[in-house]
């Protein structure tokens, strides 16, 4: 199947980066759909900033960066976003109710052969596919933050996802210059978040129990394990609300107390200390 148009649903932290990565290939038109103009404007600004960094580094020329922007079509209009699209990547907030509405609309407004991929961090692909009439075309396509720089994309096979769909996703991942791993069974957290989230949660417990200061925990893991960012910086980077959603899914699906969210995480989310996206989490990001 030749892909000409891709629709990215959600212009947030992940969606804007995914749209940019797709557009940078130079072969696809990218519709970027969101529910509020301010979300679209913010996403477009982030893309411009990121392209600016690539231009500064000489990865892209000014003209190429302009073309990347020209191929991205931000819209609030659902019909326009899905019209004649070949591939949908949903990157809406990690809430089942929101994703259900997105999948129902995408199912109704796309052609039968259009693939419906989701960038969910943890929600069951099989559950999301049940909101559509074509579960064989629904698949997990999980990018990592920031999508512009991170090489990995997890492909997750839902219970009813067809092999044809998996191979179309593999092709697309190759075209955008990323590396794929296949998650053969639809299990909570897939590979990376199943390992990462308990580690981040444990770092939160170290703070909660007063064992060490955040900056020392981060320093320990950066220098002791060679992570590019310490766990608390990484929490700020991905968003504490997103991390809480993922940990809650692990806890609820496995029904295992080892995945119980640290009370500090719950408190910080309630206080709006979500990290980079709100300007404050463990660190101050307002600069």
Using CB positions, name the residue nearest to ligand 3HC. Answer: 121
User: Based on CB atoms, which residue is closest to ligand 3HC, 150 or 212?
Assistant: 150
Pairing of strands 87-90, 179-183: unpaired
Where does this chain bind ligand 3HC (CB under 6 A)?
Answer: 50, 53-54, 57, 121, 144-146, 148-150, 193, 196, 228-229, 234, 238, 242
Q: How far is the CB of 78 from ligand 3HC (least distance, A)?
A: 25
Q: How far is the CB of 210 from ligand 3HC (least distance, A)?
A: 26
HSE at residue 18, side-chain half, CA atoms within 13 A, is: 31
User: Based on CB atoms, which residue is closest to ligand 3HC, 158 or 275?
Assistant: 275
User: Based on CB atoms, which residue is closest to ligand 3HC, 99 or 134?
Assistant: 99
Q: DSSP secondary structure string, 140-163?
A: EEEE-SSTTT--EEEEE--TT--H
User: Based on CB atoms, which residue is closest to ligand 3HC, 7 or 121?
Assistant: 121
Q: How far apart are CA 198 and CA 182, in angstroms?
A: 21
Q: How far is the CB of 71 from ligand 3HC (least distance, A)?
A: 17
Q: How far is the CB of 194 from ligand 3HC (least distance, A)?
A: 11
Q: Give all strands of the β-sheet with 152-156 in edge-to-edge order.
A: 72-75, 29-33, 5-9, 87-90, 115-118, 138-143, 152-156, 179-183
Q: Do 10 and 91 meet the contact criterion of CB atoms below 8 Å apart?
A: yes
Active site positions, annotated: 121, 142, 154, 193
Residue 198 CB coordination number (10 Å): 15
């Amino acid at each position: 199947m030749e892909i000409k148009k891709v629709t990215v649903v959600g212009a947030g932290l992940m969606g804007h980066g995914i749209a940019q990565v797709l557009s940078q290939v130079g072969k696809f038109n990218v519709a970027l759909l969101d529910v509020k103009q301010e979300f679209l404007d913010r996403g477009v600004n982030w893309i411009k900033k990121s392209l600016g960094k690539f231009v500064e580094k000489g990865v892209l020329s000014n003209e190429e960066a302009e073309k990347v922007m020209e191929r991205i079509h931000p819209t609030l209009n659902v019909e326009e976003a899905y019209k004649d699209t070949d591939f949908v990547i949903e990157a809406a907030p990690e809430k089942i109710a929101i994703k259900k509405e997105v999948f129902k609309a995408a199912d109704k407004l796309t052609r039968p052969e259009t693939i419906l991929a989701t960038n969910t961090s943890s929600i069951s692909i099989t559950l999301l596919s049940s909101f559509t009439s074509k579960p064989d075309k629904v698949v997990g396509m999980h990018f990592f933050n920031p999508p512009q720089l991170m090489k990995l994309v997890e492909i997750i096979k839902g219970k009813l996802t067809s092999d044809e769909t998996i191979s179309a996703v593999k092709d697309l991942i190759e075209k955008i210059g990323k590396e794929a791993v296949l998650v053969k069974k639809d299990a909570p957290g897939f590979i990376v978040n199943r390992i990462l989230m308990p580690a981040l949660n444990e770092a939160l417990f170290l703070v909660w129990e007063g064992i060490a200061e955040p900056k020392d925990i981060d320093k320990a893991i950066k220098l002791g394990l060679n992570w590019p960012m310490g766990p608390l910086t990484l929490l700020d980077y991905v968003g504490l609300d997103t991390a809480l959603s993922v940990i809650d899914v692990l806890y609820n699906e496995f029904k295992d107390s080892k995945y119980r969210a640290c009370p500090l995480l719950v408190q910080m989310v309630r206080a709006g200390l979500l990290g980079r996206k709100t300007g404050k989490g463990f660190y101050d990001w307002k600069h």
